[in-house]
Amino acid sequence: MIILPAIDIRGGKCVRLFKGNFEQETVFSDFPFEMAKKWESQGGEFLHLVDLDGARAGKPQNLAAVKEILANVKIPAELGGGIRETAHIEEALNLGVSRVILGSVAVKNPELVKESCKNFGGDKVVVGIDAKNGVVAVDGWGVSGDIEAVELALRMRDVGVTTIIYTDIGRDGTLTGVNAEETANIAKKSGLKVIASGGVSSIEDIRLLKQYASDGIEGVIVGKSIYTGALDLSEAIAVAKGGA
């Protein structure tokens, strides 16, 4: 299982939100690339980058910050937030990200997901499924997508997606614990590789997720927990790789 440190970018700065609420923001660094270097130095193998402004605007807004991150680290990164057109995908991949995350567009325009998997390869396209109480939310989590998370995962599998990120938005940024059971449920029912996200609070969450790795949980995104010190990234990586 792999640990993906999250770097959420808003206004060019590294921030964290509480339950995705833009009104409840904490700035952790004015220079996101510095956080990227920090997580890499602690053993991070893959960065999870989110363009928060892009998620609201419907198109990428912080590519300059992303470019600076990529120029300062050697590890790969994925990027999500406002990537809703083929041109956005091409722009991100040309910038150097290893894969793009498609969120709201997976609900609104599944044909684009299908075309993207065909044109760029299934390994370059990850679908982010953000849900609350099992129901998908779109447009920066402000609108219901009127579809259950499991059903969306199945649809994405059918169009060529191999990996999804499942975020329980009721837990994101809360440090209340990861929803391992629902994440594993989606992995088992869809047959897809699933990356868990939302609510990770301590090393116990990493151990819990590790128990479900055989069900298809490939990794976990860690955000607020490593920024506040509630979780030590190096220890989390050691556990994810098989340590106690």
Q: Which CATH superfamily is domain 2-240 in?
A: Aldolase class I (3.20.20.70)
Instruction: With a cut of 60, say whether residue 189 has pLDDT above it.
Output: yes
Q: How far apart are CA 4 and CA 47, in angstroms?
A: 5
Q: Taking the mean position of all CA atoms in its chain, how far away is CA 38?
A: 19
Judge contact between 32 and 13, C-beta under 8 A: yes
Provide mean pLDDT across the span 148-155.
Answer: 94
Catalytic residue among 51, 53, 130, 172: 130
Instruction: Please state the pTM of the whole predicted model.
Output: 0.92
Q: How confident is the model at residue 243 (pLDDT cuts 50, 70, 90)?
A: low
Residue range 66-113, pLDDT digits in tens: 999 999 999 999 999 999 999 999 999 999 999 999 988 888 899 999
Domain boundaries, the chain: 2-240
Per-residue model confidence as pLDDT tens digits over 29-47: 999 999 999 999 999 999 9
pLDDT > 70? residue 218? yes
pLDDT band at 20 (very low <50, low <70, confident <90, very high): low
Which residues pair with residue 13 across a beta bridge? 10
Which of 134 and 50 is assigned the larger pLDDT? 50
* Beta carbons within 8 Å of 128's beta carbon, 6+ residues apart: 80, 101, 102, 103, 106, 164, 165, 167
Annotated catalytic residue 172: no
What residues have CB less than 8 Å from 193, skipping those under 6 apart? 162, 163, 164, 187, 216, 218
The answer on pLDDT for 121 being more than 80 is yes
Reply yes or no on whether the pLDDT at 190 is more than 60.
yes
Q: Please determine, for residue 137, whether its predicted confidence score (pLDDT) is greater than 90.
A: no
Q: What is the pLDDT of residue 18?
A: 77
Average pLDDT over residues 10-38: 89
The confidence score (pLDDT) of residue 152 equals 94
212 pLDDT above the threshold of 70: yes
- Which pLDDT value is given to residue 62? 97
- State residue 19's pLDDT score: 66
Query: Given pLDDT bands bounded at 50, 70 and 90, which one contains residue 25?
Result: confident
List, as own/partner pairs, every contact residues 141-146 make where C-beta atoms lie below 8 angstroms and the sequence separation is at least 24, other chains included.
141/20, 141/169, 145/104, 145/107
Average pLDDT (52-64) is 93
pLDDT tens digits for 230-242?
999 999 999 999 8
Q: Give the Cα separation of 41 and 216 in Å (integer).
A: 28
The single-letter DSSP state of residue 1 is -
Predicted pLDDT of residue 30:
95
Query: Is the pLDDT score of 59 beyond 70?
Result: yes
By the 8 A CB rule, do 206 and 240 touch? Answer: yes
Q: Is 8 marked active-site?
A: yes
Q: Which residue has the higher pLDDT, 58 or 6?
A: 6
Q: What is the mean pLDDT of residues 51-55?
A: 93
